[in-house]
Amino acid sequence: FMPEGGKVLEIRFRGDKHNNCYFSLASAMRHEYWYLQADPEKGLDTHAGNVRLDPEELDRVLKDMEEAGKA
């Protein structure tokens, strides 16, 4: 429901090269796509598991997303 040209941030499992559905959807809708890699806390369920991510990396990617909108 986001208008064309929005920004998407996906938090994805580190090393996951197979689950690209959010990238594909963002591309089809002409959204900017960004991602942040995270480690699963336990289990490997990419849709229901908890993840652990680096808060400094989160800050960096959010700043990059914000700066990209100003260019």
Segment 7-62, tens digit of pLDDT: 999 998 888 888 888 999 999 999 999 999 998 887 666 667 788 899 999 999 99
Residues 6+ apart with CB under 8 A from 8: 22, 25, 26, 31, 32, 33, 34
Of 19, 16, 14, 71, nearest to 37 by C-alpha is: 14
pTM: 0.80
User: Taking the mean position of all CA atoms in its chain, how far away is CA 46?
Assistant: 13
The SS3 of residue 8 is strand
SS3 content of the chain, % helix, strand, coil (to 5): 35, 25, 40
